[in-house]
Each structure stands twice: as C-alpha cells, then as structure tokens.
Amino acid sequence: MHVKEEHKPLLKQLGLKDEDFERFDGKFVRYEHDDQKGVRIYDPYYETSYDEYIGIDGWSAWSAENDTFMSDILKKTHEQIQITLSGRPKTSDEEITEALQKKFGKRPSEDPSTEKKQAT
C-alpha cells in the first residue's frame, strides 16, 4: 500500500517511524485519512511501532484525538518500577545459584537423566 507523502507527518505524530511505512500492505496494516479527524491506522497485530491502544476492531484512534491513554498509564507504571527496583539490593548470579542449590540440593553440572539410569 502506498502511503501518501502528505499523510506521513500525521502518521509520524502517531509515533510511526519511516520503516513502518514499508509494513503498510493494505490488508493487515493500512491507514485512512479524514480531513477533519486526521489519520488512523489499522494494525490489529501491532506490526508497526505504534504503541497506543488499538481497539478490538483493529483501528487506532484518530490523530486529531491525541489519544495517549496507554502511554500515560505505562509511564506511571515504568516510573513506579524504577522506584521499587532502586531500593532493592542487586542479587548476583552466584547468590542466585547458591540459593537454588541450597533449596533443590543439586549442582548445575549434574544431569538428572543419568541419576535415573544409575538408580535402576
């Protein structure tokens, strides 16, 4: 599907990148334009870099709506994750290995399939 040059700036406002325009096949990824509403994309499988909400019908919101619902939610979530993780000490791989060995009693080099053969 050909993306018209005059529509590319509107699509970029939705968060699309130049390489996304190659994904427009007219079937699974396409867009429509309206003089009043702007553009919206049909991308039910999130094939493009569009990261806002896509409805159950596969269509995004119109660009004139400036819909940032999903990114607003995710921004707060990402901030909360960083705050939570910053207060925790970093666990080393050795500490994790030691804790697993203590809990399960096996060394990572032991092959459980050979133990069954030896036991029989």
**What are 54's strand-pairing partners?**
60
> Looking at the domain assignment, is residue 59 inside a domain?
yes
**Letter string b/e over residues 64-82, b meaning 16 or more CB atoms within 10 A of that residue's CB:** eeebeeeeeeeeeeeeeee
Is the residue at 53 inside a domain? yes
Q: Tell me whether residue 65 is in a domain.
A: yes
Task: Say what the pLDDT of residue 120 is.
Answer: 54
Residue 88: inside a domain: no
Structure tokens belonging to residue 63: 């660009």
Q: Does a structural domain hold residue 82?
A: no
**What is the rounded distance in angstroms from the CA atom of residue 61 to the CA atom of residue 114?**
58
> Could you give the number of structural domains in the chain?
1
Q: Does the pTM exceed 0.85? A: no
Based on the number of CB atoms within 10 Å of its own CB, is 41 exposed (0-12), middle (13-18) or buried (19 or more)?
buried
pLDDT of residue 77: 79
Domain span holding position 33: 5-73
Give residue 98's pLDDT: 87
pLDDT at 117: 56
One digit per residue, the tens of pLDDT, for the chain of length 120 reads 999 999 999 999 999 999 999 999 999 999 999 999 999 999 999 999 998 999 999 999 999 998 887 777 777 777 888 888 787 788 888 888 888 888 887 665 666 666 555 555
Judge whether 34 lies within some domain: yes
